[in-house]
Amino acid sequence: MVDFASGDIRKVVDGTGSDQFPMWGADGMIYFNSDREDGTLNIYGYDVAGGGTEQLTTSKTWDVRWPGDDGQGRIVYELN
């Protein structure tokens, strides 16, 4: 994440696995999907203000794929 005014750069993701499809949320979060925990893609949220990352979906069998914004503040995705 880059602050163009100051030139500051903040690393948003860490760990192993893939991190994909980042989306800005109106609530100050960056949402993305990743297979960092167990090899299954799930949705995570990164709190821009606090700096913490939280796993939001917990699929263990099927990947959470192609997350996107439905235009009403909700994340939609494909599962199975």
Rounded to two decimals, the pTM is: 0.87
Mean pLDDT of the chain: 91
Helices (H), the chain: none
If you average pLDDT over residues 64-73, what whole number do you get?
Answer: 92
Instruction: Compute the distance between CA of residue 5 and CA of residue 67 in angstroms, rounded to an integer.
Output: 30
The answer to whether residue 67 scores a pLDDT higher than 80 is yes
The tokens describing 29, both together, are 């979060």
